[in-house]
């Protein structure tokens, strides 16, 4: 299976990256082909809402989203990886999700598998309520097939994350695919 990981943390060596690395190790060992797409360091701009795409067509913005779009339409699974920012996904990742607008129907018809990898400082039980509600809504709307979520409670620093069970959980999620 071809897996595209949308890496939504600007920290290349942070806690989100740690989960992504362990997920990739597991999935690669299971025979899958993983590509981490570092969306935070690409030239990707917010949707302008012009709808010249007609919700399915070329976007007027000729930026790196063209490459991300091609990758998503050729893969079997998409992984949303993000630190928790004000109880949602990072703006960098949300920008990519909003740009799905221009290939909404073709993305829908792919019936991609999906997963969520995320970390937060907070460890309260409600920490991920808003993010998981959003993710589950995307799964429903885009007709994704959710394969699992790793919700890293109390992962405020790489030290906290390393000593938690979440890297192992990400590895197992990848390995079990």
Ligand X SMILES: Cc1cc2nc3c(=O)[nH]c(=O)nc-3n(C[C@H](O)[C@H](O)[C@H](O)COP(=O)(O)O)c2cc1C
Residue whose CB is nearest to ligand X in the complex, by number: 14
Nearer to ligand X, 17 or 107 (CB): 17
- Which residues partner with 35 through β-bridges? 4
126 contacts ligand X (rule: CB under 6 A): no
**Least separation in angstroms between CB 141 and ligand X:** 24
154 contacts ligand X (rule: CB under 6 A): no
Burial grade of 132 (CB within 10 A; 0-12, 13-18, 19 or more): middle
Nearby residues of 133 by Cβ (< 8 Å), 6 or more positions away: none
142 in Cβ contact with 100 (< 8 Å): yes
Q: How far apart are CA 138 and CA 132, in angstroms?
A: 10
Burial grade of 29 (CB within 10 A; 0-12, 13-18, 19 or more): exposed
**Least separation in angstroms between CB 151 and ligand X:** 11
**Least separation in angstroms between CB 81 and ligand X:** 8
Letters for 66-85 (x = contact with ligand X by CB under 6 A, - = none) are: -----------------xxx
Burial grade of 23 (CB within 10 A; 0-12, 13-18, 19 or more): buried
Q: Which stretch binds ligand X (CB under 6 A): 6-14, 39-47, 60-68, 162-170?
A: 6-14
61 contacts ligand X (rule: CB under 6 A): no
Binding residues for ligand X, rule: CB under 6 A, are: 9, 11, 14-16, 83-87, 119-122, 127, 155-156
């Amino acid at each position: 299976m071809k897996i595209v990981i949308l890496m939504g943390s600007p920290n290349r060596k942070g806690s989100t990256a740690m989960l992504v690395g362990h997920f990739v190790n597991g999935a690669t060992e299971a025979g899958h082909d993983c590509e981490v797409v570092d969306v935070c360091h690409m030239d990707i701009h917010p949707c302008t809402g012009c709808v010249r795409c007609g919700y399915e067509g070329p976007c007027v913005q000729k930026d790196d989203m063209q490459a991300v779009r091609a990758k998503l339409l050729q893969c079997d699974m998409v992984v949303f990886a993000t630190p928790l920012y004000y109880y949602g996904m990072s703006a960098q990742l949300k920008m990519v999700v909003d740009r799905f607008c221009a290939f909404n129907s073709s993305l829908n018809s792919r019936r991609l598998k999906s997963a969520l990898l995320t970390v937060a400082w907070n460890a309260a039980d409600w920490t991920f309520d808003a993010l998981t509600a959003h993710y589950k809504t995307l799964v429903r709307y885009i007709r994704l097939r959710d394969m699992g979520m790793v919700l890293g409670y109390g992962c405020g620093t790489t030290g906290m994350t390393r000593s938690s069970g979440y890297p192992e959980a990400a590895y197992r999620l990848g390995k079990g695919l």
